[in-house]
Amino acid sequence: MQYTLPKTISYSLVALSILVISSCNDTNTSAYKAESSGNLNQLSVIITNEDWQDSIGEQIREIFAADVDGLPQQEPKYALRQIPPTAFSDFARKNRTFLKIEKSKKAGHQFLLDSFAKPQLGIAITGPNQQAIIEELKQNKDFFLKKLHDTELKEKRRRMSKAPKKVDVLIKSLGVSMLFPSAYRYAKQEDNFFWMRKDIKNGSMELLAYEVPKSTIDRNGDVIANVIKMRDSVGKNIPGPNEDTHMITEEAYAPYLFETEIDGKFAYEIKGTWEVKGFFMAGPFLTYAIRDDKNDRYVILEGFVFKPSSSKRNQMFEIEAILRSATFIK
């Protein structure tokens, strides 16, 4: 004897099955995101050809392709790649960062996180006309730049964390930990002074970590002069290619000075150019003087690059990512 389910039960089971299948599909769709792609400090700009060649494009280039501070030659913050909206699909949507310009009745902006790939940051800017979009860009440019910069720093650290260098000696001597690649080697370790080096094509990248009393930087209120004097004193530990040559701060130009924060502590950020006294060698440097009130000192973290006649933006960006990763170990 064949038994048939009542229609009400049969319909319920079918509905339940559809609901379960639908839920599974929704879960899979939201859970899986393709891995994003793209070089660091490269920004895709989704905009029509007409707007890219007009005033909106000019404003975008003025903001996002402005020169990086502290480099000896002109280099843009971001390498911009324009993509027409009709071409923004498939592989193009996997770009790790993008800026999208759209015409809309209302001016505004929105951050799009992991919309098409992961990790991914998109910035959508809307407005009813060119002037409204330009004003939106101008009014929020610092916010946009910081958001992008923080995103790139995070991605750089993610990549570096795959093969990190051991920093036990830094923790033991200075009470500070940093994330940097194993490609660096310790060139000098003495008296709470550490020099790390990495060979690159046609040059090298250098890191320094040491400490000085607070009075070294705070005296007389002239931070720049005190930092230059401190760097030149420490530079004697960084020999040049010939005897009696060593690193100093370039005298022709005053370094840039900013105030920032690292691991919750106040810090000075100094960007400038170094040179070798008595020899034709030079390049950019980045120094963080982090105030450690508890121990009455400044922890000095510094990086500099030697790469003559070549772009140095990406190398200095790596150094910033390393130095800003510093954490104080209790």
pLDDT digits (tens, 9 = 90+) for 28-82: 445 578 899 999 999 999 999 999 999 999 999 999 999 998 888 899 999 999 9
Dihedral angle, C-alpha 246, 248, 252, 253, nearest 10 °: 150
Same domain membership, residue 226 and residue 143: no
Same domain membership, residue 281 and residue 208: yes
Question: How many CB atoms lie under 10 A from the CB of residue 282?
Answer: 16
CATH code for the domain of 215: 3.40.1000.10
**Residue 23 falls inside a structural domain:** no
How many helices, marked H, and strands, marked E, lie in the chain? Answer: 9, 17
Q: Would the CA dihedral through 131, 133, 139, 145 be positive or negative?
A: negative
The pLDDT, as a whole number, for residue 149 is: 97
Instruction: Express each pLDDT in 153-200 by its tens digit.
Output: 999 999 999 999 999 999 999 999 999 999 999 999 988 899 999 999
Q: Which of 62, 74, 261 is nearest to 145 (CA)?
A: 62
**Backbone φ/ψ region at 270: left (φ over 0), alpha (ψ -120 to 50), beta:** beta
Same domain membership, residue 188 and residue 113: no
The pLDDT, as a whole number, for residue 226 is: 93
Domain boundary among 121, 141, 160: 160
Assess whether pLDDT exceeds 80 at residue 245: no
Same domain membership, residue 284 and residue 228: yes
Give dist(CA 313, CA 305) in Å, integer: 10
**Residue 21 falls inside a structural domain:** no
Same domain membership, residue 273 and residue 300: yes
**Residue 13 falls inside a structural domain:** no
The pLDDT, as a whole number, for residue 4 is: 47
With H, G, I as helix, E, B as strand and everything else as coil, classify residue 73.
coil
Give dist(CA 319, CA 220) in Å, integer: 30
Same domain membership, residue 48 and residue 132: yes
Same domain membership, residue 294 and residue 194: yes
Q: Which of 276, 287, 206 is nearest to 247 (CA)?
A: 276
CATH code for the domain of 43: 3.30.379
Band (327; pLDDT cuts 50, 70, 90): very high
> Among 43-52, 54-63, 226-235, 314-323, which is the least confidently predicted range?
226-235
Same domain membership, residue 133 and residue 72: yes
Number of domains in the chain: 2
Task: Let me know: does 173 contact 192? Beta carbons within 8 Å.
Answer: yes
**Residue 27 falls inside a structural domain:** no
With H, G, I as helix, E, B as strand and everything else as coil, classify residue 19.
helix
pTM: 0.86
Domain containing 72: what range? 35-160
Q: What is the SS3 string spanning 125-172?
A: EEECCHHHHHHHHHHCHHHHHHHHHHHHHHHHHHHHCCCECCCHHHHH
Same domain membership, residue 223 and residue 123: no
Using the CB atoms, write b or e for 301-330: b if 16+ within 10 Å.
Answer: bbbbbbbeeeebbebbbbbbbbbbbbebee
**Residue 283 falls inside a structural domain:** yes
Domain boundary among 160, 181, 204: 160
The chain-wide mean pLDDT, for the chain, equals: 88
Residue at 1: amino acid letter: M
Return the biggest CA–CA distance within the chain: 106
Domain boundary among 160, 182, 205: 160
Same domain membership, residue 251 and residue 109: no
Instruction: Express each pLDDT in 109-156 by its tens digit.
Output: 999 999 999 999 999 999 999 999 999 999 999 999 999 999 999 999
**Residue 280 falls inside a structural domain:** yes
Residue 6: HSE in the Cβ half-sphere, 13 Å Cα cutoff: 3
Same domain membership, residue 299 and residue 174: yes
Assess whether pLDDT exceeds 60 at residue 27: no
Instruction: Express each pLDDT in 248-305 by its tens digit.
Output: 787 667 889 999 999 999 999 999 988 887 777 788 999 999 999 999 999 999 999 9
